[in-house]
Amino acid sequence: METTAPPGPSAAPPFPQPRACPYQPPPAYEQLGAQGPLSRVSLFDGRVVWFVTGYPEARQLLADPRISADRQRPDYPAVAPRFQAEVAKRLVLIGMDPPAHDEHRRLLNPDFSRKRVASLRPVVQAIVDDHVDRMLRTGPPADLVRDFALPVPSRVISEVLGLPHEDLEFFQDASRRLLQATTGPESQEAGRELIGYLDALATRRRTEPGPGLIGRLAREEVATGRLSHADLVQIALVILVAGHETTASTIALGAITLLDHPEQLARMQAEPDTVPAVVEEILRCVAVTDLAGVRVATADIPVAGQVIRAGEGVLLSATMANRDGRVHQDPQAFDAGRTGRRQLSFGYGIHQCLGQSLARLELEIAFSTLFTRIPTLRLTVPADRLPTRPPGSGTVQGVNEMPVTW
């Protein structure tokens, strides 16, 4: 086994860097990817961590039990200052290792099974139709982020969680403020309001019947002592954040990608059977979370002729692994004709996205309905002028606004 001396920070460009095109990697990541499957980047606090751009190498590491997702470990890397806040460190499901992770995942899997998701199809279709109706009634123009991409997933999550209808307006407003906040205090305030709300609802549901995930877990798991009330509130918040921002951004950036590829959009409009393949290619290209995982090695791990040492941070780049030339031909091209579904946008290993079946359903219905009912939809400003997330907010990609007409 060959080992290499770690390169100094001069060889490690800063991470994260902004995308120029909303569905393509920044040029600096492309350069790193061209050097090999493993390279190094520097984080805001000066720490140098591994940057994994190869698809098989990223999969190997994400499946390795010697790699930890535990955000409470002192050596866990923070990719943005806000992740250093104590409140960000105890993150159920996403930021935990087995066995706690596995216990929570087991509790949640039934709510995201294919059967449960299939039963939501008419609900999701009605929500999407409702928002298209409103756009057609009040526009053109419209803001596709405000009027469609953000509210659709928020309504779907409120169904999954089982929120009362009279709370929808508060929930949508607070979720939007949480995700679109441009300052730390703004996002903290919205987060506090949502936690307070979910806390009160989870308390009420212990004794009062109610639908959805919160009702079921409150009665079956919290009331019987198998799950703590605090963990239920955390679980609800994690599902909200993980399922809302990612889906909303994929709808917005996916629509931009389709509008940039009118031939493939026309084919999707003419052949509804191709929508699932279009969604897979959008997931591969857009990779809204940018990273398939942030991890720390708990032992020395050999990979691709190098050794990741215990205690070293590891960023797994979905954006780059999805464009591995060893896996995909012409990997930069948006091509809905691809097969094999090899992409890491939902991650890999035990943490692979819990809600991926629901996400696929939402995306399929959102794109097919939007472009069938508003076939002439188009942006009123060039895609590269759309306001993106403020630098330093993290790695989730997205646009804050998307003015459209038809």
Partner 1 sequence: MSADGPADALVTADREACIGAAQCAYSAPAVFDQDEDGYVLVRDPHPGPHEWDALREAVDLCPVQAIRLSGTADGA
Closer Cβ to partner 1, 185 or 340, answer by number: 340
Q: Which residue has the tokens 């991470």?
A: 15
Q: How far is the CB of 357 from partner 1 (least distance, A)?
A: 5
Tell me the longest C-alpha to C-alpha distance in the chain: 65
In the complex with partner 1, which residue's Cβ is closer, 62 or 135? 62
Q: Which two tokens stand for residue 70?
A: 């535990």
Kindly tell me which of 63 and 100 has the beta carbon lying closer to partner 1: 63
Count other C-beta atoms under 10 Å from residue 205's C-beta: 23
Segment 293 to 332, residues that bind partner 1, using CB under 8 A: none
Cβ 198 vs Cβ 67: under 8 Å = no
Of 259, 316, 266, which Cα lies nearest the Cα of 293?
Answer: 316
Tell the smallest beta-carbon distance from residue 386 to partner 1 (Å): 32
Q: Is 340 a residue that touches partner 1 (CB under 8 A)?
A: yes
For 198-217, give the secondary structure using H, E and C. Answer: HHHHHHHHCCCCCCHHHHHH
Element (DSSP H or E) covering residue 62:
helix 55-62
Q: Which DSSP helix (H) or strand (E) runs through 339?
A: none
Judged by beta carbon, residue 62 or residue 150, the one nearer partner 1 is 62
Asked if 119 is part of the footprint of partner 1 (rule: CB under 8 A), the reply reads: no
Contact 101, 318 (CB under 8 A): no
Centre a 10 Å sphere on the Cβ of residue 103 and count the other Cβ atoms it contains. Answer: 15
**Is 99 a binder of partner 1 (CB under 8 A)?**
no
Is residue 350 a contact point for partner 1 (CB under 8 A)?
A: yes
The answer to whether 112 contacts partner 1 (rule: CB under 8 A) is yes
For residue 115, state whether it binds partner 1 (rule: CB under 8 A).
yes
What phi and psi values does residue 393 have, to the nearest 5 degrees?
A: -85, -15
The site string for partner 1 over 62-81 (x = CB under 8 A, - otherwise) reads xx------------------
With contacts defined by CB under 8 A, name the span among 102-110, 158-166, 188-196, 299-307 that binds partner 1: 102-110
348 contributes a contact to partner 1 by CB under 8 A: yes
Q: How far is the CB of 113 from partner 1 (least distance, A)?
A: 3
Nearest distance from residue 55's CB to partner 1, in Å? 11
141 binds partner 1 (CB under 8 A): no
Instruction: Output the smallest distance, CB 65 to partner 1, in A.
Output: 11
The minimum distance between CB 292 and partner 1, in angstroms, equals 11
* 110 in contact with partner 1 (CB under 8 A): yes
DSSP code, position 245: H
# binding residues, partner 1 (CB under 8 A) = 25
Closest to partner 1 by CB, 159 or 364: 364
Asked if 114 interacts with partner 1 (CB under 8 A), we say yes
Of the candidates 221, 254, 232, the residue with the CA atom closest to the CA atom of residue 153: 254
Task: Evaluate whether 218 touches 333 at the Cβ level (below 8 Å).
Answer: no
Q: What are phi and psi of 399, to 5 degrees?
A: -120, 145
Which of 281/312 has CB closer to partner 1?
281
Least Å distance, CB 14 to partner 1, is 30
Select from 29, 148, 171, 346 the one that contacts partner 1 (CB under 8 A). Answer: 346
Report how far residue 76's alpha carbon sits from residue 71's, in angstroms, rounded to the nearest whole number: 6
Among 342, 383, 388, 406, binds partner 1 (CB under 8 A): 342
- C-beta atoms surrounding 203 within 10 Å: 15
Among 31, 72, 109, 119, binds partner 1 (CB under 8 A): 109
Closest listed residue to residue 194, CA positions, set 207, 177, 216: 177
User: Judged by CB under 8 A, does residue 386 bind partner 1?
Assistant: no
CB atoms within 10 A of CB 80: 16
For residue 390, report the phi and psi dihedrals to the nearest 5 degrees. Answer: -65, 140
DSSP 3-state of 303: strand
* Binding-site ranges for partner 1 (CB under 8 A): 62-63, 105, 109-110, 112-116, 339-342, 346-350, 352-354, 356-357, 360
